[in-house]
Structure 1
Amino acid sequence: MLLCVSSSHKNAPFSLLGSLSGARDAARTLAARHEFFTGAVAVATCNRFEAYLDVTQPTGTDPRLAVAAAWQAISEHTGVDVADLRAHSAVYVDDDAAEHLFSVAAGLESLVVGETEISGQVADALARARELGTTSPGLERLFQTAAHTSREVKNRTGIGRMGRSIVRLALTLCDSRIVDWSALRVLLIGTGQYARVTVAALRDRGVRDIAVHSASGRAETFARPRDLRPVDPAQVGDEVAAADLIVTCTTAPRTVLDAATLVAARDAAAQPAVGPTAVPERPSRQLVIDLGMPRNVAVDVADLPDVDLLDLETIRLHAPLDELRSDEAARELVDAAAHDFHEQRNQQRVGHGLARLKSLYFDVLDEEIARAAHHEPSAQATEKALRHLTGRLLHVTMRRSRELAARDRHDEVLAALDALYGITAEQATPASRCGACPIAHELGGGHQADATAAEDDAAASA
């Protein structure tokens, strides 16, 4: 059984995700928790923690025991209470687990749909599981298929360009309000993927003065290679008041700008100041673009008389359908990959059984060859040996079929004969001609009585 326990921005608070984000080595704790966990891979990012588990059959088809064990192991590793994990996680089993991972790796479950970092993070999770010795053949196939699916989605759809399209569309919607982009003073709040895309789009429009602020302290690192102005936390209010355009694109769990904050910053900037502490004159009107998910800017900012707020909801209303629905093509690829993976797993399950059957048959053949070697070779001896071999091969099937029929499970036996040999229920009745069944020709005719006698003879001599 494949099992996925998932906590993400969709079902868990960011405070809990923060506690889970460093648990990239949780696979070791999971794999050691119970012997029925034969493999474990942990995907841990800033807004997602997922445990993928290969579970053996002693747990049966009911995943609840395995899920409870997984929650307990994750709790031990991270210190997060089991009750919180239970309340803020989703569980996916077998085909659903595979489809979910494919969707995650393709960027379809991310805060920013189509973001590319997640595919690398999923690959890193598998690599770490290999280092820890916690992966399994089933998880290897699962994660390798996820990597292939991610590449297919990236190469065959526009999902990876979705973020860039939204940023550029947002700036296009601002064109009617901005006379000269090169004279604009911009404050960028955030240093993630959207921030990088935003800087590139602003540069393309001729913007030169871009300041960047990061509550996580990454402003300096982000600003230096891009020739931006990092904003000291003490000066954020001044920059908020002086900016013609404010762009927010953080993954903060709460808003980073509201009407009260903006008004307070303006009021402070309006106080007389001289010397190096003086700030530029406040613009008569400000534009605020909120690209955050969840939203970074409180809706009350739109109520201020001299502020225009453009958020994702508004941007989507103006977006071309082929841009913001590009995820449909991506999801079709994910669905197809999940279907193929399902078929491959079923074939592998049958393959193991068929390999065992083949081994049993050849063991019987070897025994019969050894048995015949002790007798004088003749046509009669050869015929007897072949009949004995046929009987031994039929013996287990015949015995199990009779046992099942005695327990009112004859329909299962007939269904198996039909599925494996093309022998329908009608052909299996005494009145039917055995030679009419599809398998009879392949086996060289219908010798039902001979086969039964051979089976009985083999059983007697076994």
Structure 2
Amino acid sequence: MTDRTDTPTRGANAPGVMALGVSHATAPLDLLERLSATDRPVDDLVRDVTSIDGIDAAVVVSTCNRLEVYAEARSHADDSDMRELIAKHTGVDLDELDPHLYTHQADDAVRHLFTVASGLDSVVVGEDQILGQVKQGLDRSQQLGQTGKVLTKAVQTALRVGKKARNETGLNEAGRSLATAGLAFFERQVGSLNGKTALVIGAGSMAGVVVAALRRSGLSQVHLANRTPEKAQRLAETAGGQGFALEDVPRLLTEVDVIVGATAATGHVVGLRDVETALADRKGRELFVLDLAMPHNISPDVATVPGVTFVDLKRIAEEGEQDELSISSVQAAHALVDKEVEAFRTGLKLAGAGPVLAAMRSSVTEAADAELDRLSKRLTGIDQAAQQEINRSVRRIVDKFLHRPTVRVRELAATADGARYIDALGVLFAPADTPNPKQTTEQIEAIA
């Protein structure tokens, strides 16, 4: 499939943005865990969505806490096919999934996208990992050739708005990453981690954030376990620890004080029996378990083992406090999003006026050129200097004639009925072999 960046933007069937998804705000964590556990690549979902009639492009944002499809959709596009595709892709029955799905259209879809990118719709308000995940979704669609002008512009603007919200409203200081928030809540449950040792499962971006946060908490050593021990070793060296293979985790449970799950691996890396065996060898020392992964890296059943303190995303969401968040910063971020949505809407309308203005200028310029050509053939005795002065005078007349209509078209394009004005003008200044007189009359009468 080819890149959709040439999709026209003018007219009643001009594409807009549609958003369909499910997140922590609408679905229980166990359902989100099943959605994120699918083995099907996200690429397949992107391709399937763009095969729907009326959908010209798609960007999928897939995280442990949300699965959202942003589509560039024409006016006749329906979200029912998209709902079925999400159910098929995740393997979750549509009847179970459907009550938790939400749909946003046009400005509401753009506002939701901007809100998500800003971290205002996250489990931890202001967390910044979502910004990279939105960018990853756009990069994926661009590599697959499934992007369009409107959707690409919307996502690129969302990335800019997300950065701006964090840097200019104080949200960056008020909000924290999911890992940092989880650790802060964890410390409130178990006390200071200063001087303790930890084992982090994973060596990716989330694990990197966890290691940095653990170091700030004063741990003496942070070890890492990963499918690729060499990768774990490189990250562990930054925290005075060592890298291990996943097979070493059961043995390490007897040695460390804290274990943190932070990998996207499917299936439990640490099971109930692993923890029960380790506790028998720990001689009464408690084991503190923090699972920040989705799906779970560590079986929630370990919470039943005496001597184990277990915290996961569900508990953080239900009990976690964010009293350090500045209410004014959050309000300022929401106000910024509203302002940027309005600017985006106006920008789309002005972009739709571009082809009309070009056609209008072309029509007048062609008429002027034809008249100058006719005049030059009749006035054969005129010298070159006089001919050039006549040409300049005609060009100035054309520019002066077009100046006011150009300004007015841009003003009208930004109004609520802007699309109707642009449609009518587009028909009026279309090439001679394309206009539909009846359509022209109807559109002009509609805005008169």
User: Same fold by TM (over 0.5)?
Assistant: yes
Q: Are 1:316 and 2:335 matched, yes or no? A: no
Kindly tell me: are residues 159 and 6 of structure 1, through their superposed partners in 2, closer, same or farther at Cα, counting changes over 3 Å?
Answer: farther
Alpha-carbon distance in 2 for matches of 1:209, 1:254:
27
Shift of 1:145: 1.1
Shift of 1:153: 2.5
Structure 2 residue aligned with 1:23 = 42
Structure 1 residue aligned with 2:258 = 245
Structure 1 residue aligned with 2:341 = 338
Q: Do the aligned residues in 2 keep the contact of 1:41 with 1:135 (CA within 8 Å)?
A: yes
Kindly tell me: are residues 362 and 168 of structure 1, through their superposed partners in 2, closer, same or farther at Cα, counting changes over 3 Å?
Answer: same
Kindly tell me: are residues 194 and 37 of structure 1, through their superposed partners in 2, closer, same or farther at Cα, counting changes over 3 Å?
Answer: closer
Q: 265, 280, 285: which is aligned to 2:275? A: 265
TM alignment of 1:47-446, pairs within 5 A? 48-57=66-75, 59=76, 63-64=77-78, 67-70=79-82, 78=89, 83=94, 87=98, 89-110=101-122, 113-156=125-168, 157-159=170-172, 162-163=176-177, 166=181, 169-170=184-185, 173=188, 177=191, 181-182=194-195, 184-189=196-201, 191=203, 193=205, 195-213=207-225, 217=227, 221-227=231-237, 228-230=241-243, 233=246, 236-249=249-262, 261=272, 265-266=275-276, 270=280, 281-283=283-285, 285-289=286-290, 291=292, 306-308=307-309, 312=316, 316-317=320-321, 319-322=323-326, 327-349=330-352, 416=448
Alpha-carbon distance in 2 for matches of 1:318, 1:135:
37
Q: Do the aligned residues in 2 keep the contact of 1:4 with 1:50 (CA within 8 Å)?
A: no
Shift of 1:40: 3.6
Q: How many residues align?
A: 366
Kindly tell me: are residues 334 and 292 of structure 1, through their superposed partners in 2, closer, same or farther at Cα, counting changes over 3 Å?
Answer: farther
Shift of 1:188: 3.2
**Which stretch of structure 1 is more off in the superposition, 338-347 or 205-214?**
205-214
Q: Secondary structure at the match of 2:212?
A: helix
Q: Secondary structure at the match of 1:317?
A: coil
Alpha-carbon distance in 2 for matches of 1:32, 1:300:
43
**Normalization by structure 2: what TM-score?**
0.59
Kindly tell me: are residues 306 and 138 of structure 1, through their superposed partners in 2, closer, same or farther at Cα, counting changes over 3 Å?
Answer: closer
Q: Do the aligned residues in 1 keep the contact of 2:61 with 2:69 (CA within 8 Å)?
A: yes
Kindly tell me: are residues 102 and 212 of structure 1, through their superposed partners in 2, closer, same or farther at Cα, counting changes over 3 Å?
Answer: same
Counterpart of 2:135, as a letter, is A
Q: Are 1:2 and 2:16 matched, yes or no? A: yes
**Which stretch of structure 1 is more off in the superposition, 364-373 or 22-31?**
364-373
Kindly tell me: are residues 20 and 102 of structure 1, through their superposed partners in 2, closer, same or farther at Cα, counting changes over 3 Å?
Answer: farther
Counterpart of 1:222, as a letter, is A
Aligned CA-pair RMSD: 5.2
Alpha-carbon distance in 1 for matches of 2:149, 2:302:
53
**Normalization by structure 1: what TM-score?**
0.58
Kindly tell me: are residues 368 and 82 of structure 1, through their superposed partners in 2, closer, same or farther at Cα, counting changes over 3 Å?
Answer: farther
Alpha-carbon distance in 2 for matches of 1:73, 1:309:
36
Q: Secondary structure at the match of 1:321?
A: coil
Counterpart of 1:225, as a letter, is L
Alpha-carbon distance in 2 for matches of 1:221, 1:195:
11
Q: Do the aligned residues in 2 keep the contact of 1:72 with 1:82 (CA within 8 Å)?
A: no
Alpha-carbon distance in 1 for matches of 2:254, 2:189:
19
Q: Do the aligned residues in 2 keep the contact of 1:14 with 1:253 (CA within 8 Å)?
A: no
Alpha-carbon distance in 1 for matches of 2:296, 2:39:
22
Alpha-carbon distance in 2 for matches of 1:219, 1:113:
33
Alpha-carbon distance in 1 for matches of 2:132, 2:146:
19
Structure 1 residue aligned with 2:414 = none
Kindly tell me: are residues 292 and 29 of structure 1, through their superposed partners in 2, closer, same or farther at Cα, counting changes over 3 Å?
Answer: closer
Alpha-carbon distance in 2 for matches of 1:167, 1:244:
17
Higher normalized contact order (CA 8 Å, seq sep 6+, divided by chain length): 2
Structure 1 residue aligned with 2:57 = 39
- In our comparison, the structure showing a higher alpha carbon Rg is 1
Structure 2 residue aligned with 1:459 = none
Shift of 1:348: 3.6
Shift of 1:162: 0.6
Shift of 1:205: 4.9
Deviations 1:7-28 (A, max 9, x none): 4443454333443762236544
Aligned residues with identical type, % of pairs = 27
**Which stretch of structure 1 is more off in the superposition, 92-101 or 327-336?**
327-336
Structure 2 residue aligned with 1:431 = none
Name structure 2 gaps, 5 residues minimum. Answer: 1-14, 377-424, 429-436
Alpha-carbon distance in 1 for matches of 2:322, 2:106:
39
Shift of 1:99: 1.8
